Amino acid sequence: MPPERARAIAWSVLRITVAAAIVAAIVAQLIRSVGISIDRGWPVGATVIDFFSFFTIASNCAAVVALTIGGVIGLSAARVDPRWFAVLLACVSTYMLITGLVYNLLLRGIPLPQGSTVPWSNEILHVWGPLFLLLDVLVAPKRRVAGWSTLGAIVVFPVVWLGYTLVRGPLVHDFRTGADYWYPYPFLNPNLQAWGYAGVALYVLVIAAAVIGVGALVVVAARRLGVRPAEPVTG
């Protein structure tokens, strides 16, 4: 078997393995969250909706899809990723890297209720998953060269998620605390910011700059390290 082919197969198996680990982490944390709600008489439906409203969970779900598809493509005879998958992978890689950065820079030190998180699940979703996607950006075989237009696609989901979060926040009753609002992250909660929505806007600008910056770096990596369809590739 040619070395490049063996490398593509090995990386595909690794992608699928990591996707399975992320699924296990999501399910374990969901079970813990739902279990707590059942024990305390909180609404299960609202618990599930809130759970999937976290950017971390959405980005990890997207990573599961992208890594699984990437694993299948890697096992196929295709010599380079399809264009649509190259865009999807650039988007998901950016979201996972942002998840890792935001959590470890802004959220890791925030205390949570004892027993509310599954420690190993938390580390997979916020540390090891993002680190693998970073490695995937740098060394994945068959990764296609990305155009700069990919950056436009990258910013779509964060903008939609942010709009959803800020519109939904003041409309949702937090059954955990009794507050008439709920936000997945404290830096997006105007009720916790000294400057209200102005404080939230500042965080949003910083995160927007981070998304664009990280997305640009992902595109640069794809352009420099990726494979052009016209190039002969062993596989």
Residue-wise DSSP of 53-76:
TSHHHHHHHHHHHHHHHHHHHHHS
Q: Can you give the pTM of this predicted structure?
A: 0.90
- The distance of Cα 81 from the centroid of its chain, to the nearest Å, equals 20
Q: What is the pLDDT of residues 162-178, one digit of tens each?
A: 999 999 999 999 999 99
The pLDDT value recorded for residue 230 is 55
In this predicted structure, the answer to whether residue 43 has a pLDDT above a threshold of 60 is yes
DSSP-assigned states of every residue in 180-204: S---SSGGG-TTTSTTTHHHHHHHH
Average the pLDDT over 11-23 and give the result: 97
Q: What confidence tier does 181 reach under pLDDT thresholds 50, 70, 90? A: very high
CB environment 34-50: b (16+ within 10 A), e (fewer)? eeebeeeeeeeebbeeb
Q: What is the pLDDT of residues 113-142, one digit of tens each?
A: 656 889 999 999 999 999 999 999 999 888
In this predicted structure, the answer to whether residue 68 has a pLDDT above a threshold of 70 is yes
What is the rounded CA–CA span in Å between residue 58 and residue 52? 6
Count Cα neighbours of 65 within 13 Å in the Cβ-side half-sphere.
Answer: 11
227 strand-pairing partners: 144
Q: What is the pLDDT of residues 84-100, one digit of tens each?
A: 999 999 999 999 999 99
The pLDDT value recorded for residue 35 is 96
Alpha helices in 41-155 (DSSP H): 44-51, 55-75, 83-102, 119-123, 129-139, 150-154
Mean predicted lDDT score pLDDT of the chain: 90
Q: Can you read off the two tokens belonging to residue 153?
A: 């696609």
